[in-house]
C-alpha cells in the first residue's frame, strides 16, 4: 500500500515530467498543443470527451459536433507526436505518453535506477522553469475550473444577484464575452539562454526597431518569439472579475493576446486587461481614446483634452512603503462587429480596476458620473486608486467623457 508521502513524491515527479515536456523545444513551437497538454494534466481526474476538450480548451463554440469536426482528434494526434519528439530529442528520465484511445496522460521512467532514487533539488535554472510552468498550470486550472463552473451553474435554477447598470449595458446584447489576458512578447536566444523583454516592442516582427535588441541581434542573430507567459497580477484580477460575473449569471471565457485577434473573435464582447506595454490591443485602442498611456511609461495616463479641473497627466505616485496612488482607464468602446462591445481596463494595478467595477459603492459613483454626461453608449473614465500592496484602499473618478 502506498503511503501519503510516497504518493505525494510520485505526484511531484509526474507533474515535473509534464511541465518539463511542456517547456521542451518540441512543444514550445506548438502553443496550441502545449495548452492541450496542460489542460489534460489539469483535468486528469475529470471525465473528458471530445466536446469538453473542444469547447473548454480549443475554443470551439457550443455548436461543436465531433462527428463532422476532427479538430480534437487531430490535435490529440499532434500531441502524441510532440511528446514522442520530446522523448527522442531530450531523453528525459521520465517521459510523458498519451495512450491511443485515451485522454489520460501517463508518466513512465525510461531508465529505472538499480537503487532507490533520492529526489535531489533541481538546478537553479530548472527550478525557475518548473516554477514558472507550475504557475501557468495553476492559472490554467483556475480558468478551466471557472469555465466548468460557468457551464454547471448555467443549468441550475437559482436566484442570482442583478447585474449593475454598467455590466447590464455591456452584456445586454447577449453575445459571448471573453477576457483577453496579456501575454507579453519576449525575445529569446535559446542557445545562450537569453530572454529579453523590451516594453516598447510588443510585436515580434518589429524587433529591428528596438535599440535594446539591435546589439543582441548583431551578436547572436535573429531572436525567436517567446510568447508563453501571462502577467500573474492581471490573471488573478481576471479570475476575480469572472467570479463576480459568474455569480450574476454571466459566462466568461479566457484568451491570451498571442491567440486573440479581432478578425477571429470580433463577434463577441471583449474585455482587455493590462497595459499598453503588455497588451498590443490596448495600445491600439489607446490610439483613439482621450485617456491613454505610452508603452515606455505605461504607469502614466495622459489626457488629450483636459476638461475643467482636470490635469493633462496623471502619474503613479509612491506615497509610503507599499502604498501608491495609481491612475487607470476604464473605457466602454464599440467592438469590431455590429452590436458588440470592448471593455478596456488599463492600469499598472489591474486589481484596482476590477475592484472599482465590482464594488457597489464605486459602481454607483460611476453610474452617477455617467448619467451626468447623458449616459452615452460608449464612454471612458480615468480612475485614481490608492492601493497598499494588492489591497485597494479607495478609488475615485478623475474624469469621464463620451467616446466615439
244, 170 in Cβ contact below 8 A? no
Does residue 350 surpass a pLDDT of 80? Answer: yes
Residue 117: band (very low, low, confident or very high) from pLDDT cuts 50, 70, 90: very low
218 and 348 housed in the same domain = no
Query: Closest Cα partner for 399 from 364, 370, 378?
Result: 370
- Rounded to 10 degrees, what is the CA torsion of 204, 211, 230, 323? -160
Domain count, the chain: 3
Q: What is the pLDDT of residue 162?
A: 85
138 and 242 housed in the same domain = no
Does 116 map to a domain? Answer: no
215 and 246 housed in the same domain = no
Q: Which residue has the higher pLDDT, 330 or 9?
A: 330
Phi-psi category of residue 81: left, alpha or beta, with phi > 0 → left and psi -120 to 50 → alpha? alpha
341 and 371 housed in the same domain = yes
Does residue 92 surpass a pLDDT of 70? Answer: yes
Does residue 125 surpass a pLDDT of 50? Answer: no
Does 118 map to a domain? Answer: no
Residue 215: band (very low, low, confident or very high) from pLDDT cuts 50, 70, 90: confident
Give the range among 115-124, 179-188, 259-268, 318-327 with minimum mean pLDDT.
Answer: 115-124
Residue 357: band (very low, low, confident or very high) from pLDDT cuts 50, 70, 90: very high
Residue finishing a domain among 169, 199, 226: 226
239 and 216 housed in the same domain = no
SS3 for 340? coil
What's the whole-number average pLDDT of the chain? 81
Q: How far apart are CA 270 and CA 248, in angstroms?
A: 18
265 and 381 housed in the same domain = yes
392 and 282 housed in the same domain = yes
Does 296 map to a domain? Answer: yes
**DSSP secondary structure of 154-173:** HTS----PPPPHHHHHHHTT
Q: How far apart are CA 199 and CA 295, in angstroms?
A: 6
Q: Which residue has the higher pLDDT, 200 or 124?
A: 200
Give the range among 32-41, 59-68, 137-146 with minimum mean pLDDT.
Answer: 137-146
Q: What is the pLDDT of residue 381?
A: 96
Global pTM value = 0.58
Does 197 map to a domain? Answer: yes
Q: How far apart are CA 251 and CA 150, in angstroms?
A: 6
Tell me whether residue 297 is exposed, middle or buried, using C-beta atoms within 10 angstroms of its C-beta: 0 to 12, 13 to 18, 19 or more.
Answer: middle
Does 317 map to a domain? Answer: yes
397 and 254 housed in the same domain = yes
Residue 213 C-alpha cell reads as 535588441
Q: What is the pLDDT of residue 22?
A: 85
Residue 360 C-alpha cell reads as 457597489
Residue 30 lies in domain: 4-111+124-142
Q: Which pairing describes strands 186-189 and 194-196: parallel, antiparallel, or unpaired?
A: antiparallel
For residue 77, how many other CB atoms are within 10 A of its CB?
14
Q: What is the pLDDT of residue 209?
A: 78
Does residue 8 surpass a pLDDT of 70? Answer: no
Q: How far apart are CA 350 and CA 389, in angstroms?
A: 12
Give the range among 318-322, 331-335, 343-347, 384-388 with minimum mean pLDDT.
Answer: 318-322
Does 388 map to a domain? Answer: yes
Residue 227: band (very low, low, confident or very high) from pLDDT cuts 50, 70, 90: low
Range with the largest mean pLDDT of 101-105, 193-197, 277-281, 321-325:
101-105
Residue 328 CB partners (closer than 8 Å, separation 6+): 301, 345, 346, 347, 348, 349, 350, 352, 353, 356, 382, 383, 385
Does 173 map to a domain? Answer: no
pLDDT per position as a tens digit, 248-287: 888 888 887 777 788 777 789 999 998 888 788 898 899 9
326 and 362 housed in the same domain = yes
The phi and psi torsions of 93 (rounded to 5 degrees) equal -65, -40
For 229-315, where are the alpha helices, taking DSSP H only? 232-246, 262-265, 280-285
Q: Which residue has the higher pLDDT, 204 or 221?
A: 221
205 and 239 housed in the same domain = no
Q: What is the pLDDT of residue 358?
A: 93
Does residue 235 surpass a pLDDT of 50? Answer: yes
Query: Closest Cα partner for 265 from 175, 369, 332?
Result: 175
252 and 387 housed in the same domain = yes
Q: What is the pLDDT of residue 146?
A: 59
Q: What is the pLDDT of residue 232?
A: 72
The phi and psi torsions of 295 (rounded to 5 degrees) equal -55, -35
Does 170 map to a domain? Answer: no
376 and 242 housed in the same domain = yes
Amino acid at each position: 500500500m502506498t503511503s501519503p508521502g510516497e504518493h505525494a513524491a510520485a505526484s511531484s515527479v509526474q507533474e515535473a515530467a509534464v511541465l518539463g515536456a511542456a517547456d521542451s523545444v518540441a512543444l514550445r513551437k506548438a502553443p496550441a498543443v502545449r495548452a492541450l497538454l496542460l489542460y489534460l494534466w489539469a483535468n486528469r481526474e475529470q471525465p473528458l470527451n471530445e466536446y469538453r476538450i473542444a469547447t473548454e480548451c480549443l475554443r470551439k463554440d457550443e455548436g461543436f459536433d465531433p462527428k463532422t469536426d476532427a479538430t480534437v482528434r487531430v490535435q490529440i494526434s499532434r500531441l502524441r507526436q510532440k511528446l514522442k519528439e520530446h522523448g527522442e530529442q531530450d531523453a528525459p528520465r521520465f517521459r510523458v505518453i498519451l495512450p491511443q484511445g485515451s485522454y489520460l496522460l501517463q508518466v513512465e521512467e525510461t531508465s529505472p535506477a538499480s537503487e532507490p532514487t533520492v529526489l535531489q533539488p533541481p538546478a537553479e535554472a530548472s527550478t525557475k522553469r518548473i516554477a514558472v510552468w507550475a504557475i501557468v498550470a495553476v492559472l490554467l486550472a483556475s480558468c478551466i475550473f471557472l469555465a466548468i463552473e460557468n457551464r454547471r451553474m448555467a443549468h441550475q435554477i437559482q436566484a442570482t444577484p442583478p447585474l449593475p447598470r454598467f455590466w447590464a449595458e455591456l452584456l445586454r446584447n447577449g453575445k459571448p464575452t471573453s477576457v483577453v489576458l496579456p501575454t507579453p512578447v519576449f525575445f529569446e536566444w535559446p542557445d545562450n539562454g537569453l530572454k529579453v523583454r523590451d516594453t516598447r516592442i510588443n510585436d515580434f516582427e518589429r524587433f529591428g526597431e528596438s535599440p535594446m535588441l539591435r546589439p543582441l541581434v548583431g551578436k547572436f542573430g535573429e531572436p525567436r518569439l517567446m510568447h508563453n507567459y501571462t502577467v500573474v497580477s492581471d490573471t488573478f484580477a481576471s479570475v476575480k472579475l469572472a467570479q463576480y460575473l459568474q455569480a450574476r449569471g454571466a459566462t466568461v471565457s479566457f484568451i491570451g493576446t498571442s491567440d486573440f485577434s479581432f478578425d477571429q473573435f470580433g463577434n463577441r464582447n471583449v474585455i482587455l486587461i493590462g497595459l499598453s506595454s503588455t497588451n498590443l490591443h490596448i495600445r491600439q485602442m489607446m490610439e483613439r481614446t482621450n485617456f491613454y498611456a505610452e508603452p515606455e511609461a505605461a504607469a502614466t495616463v495622459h489626457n488629450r483634452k483636459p476638461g475643467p479641473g482636470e490635469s493633462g497627466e496623471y502619474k503613479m505616485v509612491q506615497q509610503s512603503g507599499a502604498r501608491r496612488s495609481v491612475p487607470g482607464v476604464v473605457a466602454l468602446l464599440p467592438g469590431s462587429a455590429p452590436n458588440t462591445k470592448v471593455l478596456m481596463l488599463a492600469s499598472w494595478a489591474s486589481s484596482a480596476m476590477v475592484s472599482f467595477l465590482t464594488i457597489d459603492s464605486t459602481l454607483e459613483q460611476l453610474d452617477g458620473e455617467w448619467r451626468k454626461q447623458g449616459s452615452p453608449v460608449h464612454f471612458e473614465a480615468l480612475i485614481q486608486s490608492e492601493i497598499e500592496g494588492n489591497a485597494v484602499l479607495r478609488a475615485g473618478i478623475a474624469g469621464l467623457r463620451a467616446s466615439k
